Amino acid sequence: MLSDKDLLLILGQSSDACAVYDSEELNIRFVNEAMLQLFGKQADITGLTLEVAVPELQRQSFPALLKQVWKTGEVYKATDTEATLIVDGVPVTSHFSFIYRPLVDDTGKTYAILHTAKDVSARVRAEKELAEQQQRLQESETDFKRLIEQAPVAILVFKGADMVINQVNQAMLEILGKDNSIIGMPLLDGLPEIKGAPAVEQLFHVYHTGESSDGNEEPVPINTNGKVELRYFNFSYR
């Protein structure tokens, strides 16, 4: 069976941040280099209580949580939790995932707490930036949709090789003799009468080549009230 000395030696070599508290007052029995870096402290904090060694934690919830773990003997886990520590004399707010694991004797009495932690600030920042980008994109899409709806000219927006109708304004619906039910349909499913029209073939060509195209008085068959009529349009494909 490993002795306490052996266990502390193993923890000291761990790349994970570890600390051991051996009293209800949270006396620091052991702290490894990784945890010292998280705390922004030197090895001389060993033997001090946590609140003396890291005084900036006194106004945060962590000492109280540790003392609760000591009393109850129940493990406490947290993820992406914000904490402010003084590093090189400067307050630094970071995010941590950590575990407070009580060590209990045969009677169920706590004799130490093993504290392991990981700085997850980089991931939290990346997730926040991604969420902000998605929010900006959503707002941009909303603004774009509003612009299309309010535009005085007829506009259709397609997505994908099947030219799925993504957005269409009222001016275009009136020209096509359709309603909003065509949104989400491939172009040739929503308007089967236009299949084979040169203007439509040109639309697919623009999608596959990425080259813009304009048309002037191009004939397109349009189904109006059940009757297909050849109508002429000026258009711009972008």
DSSP string for residues in 154-171: --EEEETTTTEEEEE-HH
Which pLDDT belongs to residue 75? 97
Which pLDDT belongs to residue 213? 87
CATH topology for the 148-237 domain: Beta-Lactamase (3.30.450)
Which pLDDT belongs to residue 147? 81
Helix or strand or coil: residue 181? helix
Which pLDDT belongs to residue 2? 39
Written as tens digits, the pLDDT of the chain (238 aa) is 435 655 666 665 666 899 999 999 999 999 999 999 999 999 999 999 999 999 999 999 999 999 999 999 999 999 999 999 998 889 999 999 999 999 999 999 999 999 999 999 999 999 999 888 888 888 887 877 788 888 888 888 888 888 899 888 888 888 888 888 999 999 899 888 888 888 888 888 888 898 888 888 889 888 877 788 888 888 888 8
Which pLDDT belongs to residue 3? 57
Strand ranges in 12-104 using DSSP code E only, listed in sequence order: 17-21, 28-31, 76-87, 90-104
**Cβ-based neighbour number of residue 137 at 10 Å:** 10
H or E stretch covering 206: helix 198-209
How deeply is 166 buried, as exposed, middle or buried, from its count of CB atoms within 10 A (0-12, 13-18, 19+)? middle
The reply to whether domains 4-122 and 148-237 share a CATH topology is yes
Q: Which pTM value belongs to this model? A: 0.60
Does domain 4-122 correspond to CATH entry 1.10.287.110? no
Which pLDDT belongs to residue 18? 94
The C-alpha atoms of residue 90 and residue 87 are separated, in whole angstroms, by 5
Domain boundaries, given as residue ranges, for the chain: 4-122, 148-237
The C-alpha atoms of residue 14 and residue 171 are separated, in whole angstroms, by 67
Q: Hey, CA dihedral for 136, 142, 145, 147, is it positive or negative?
A: negative
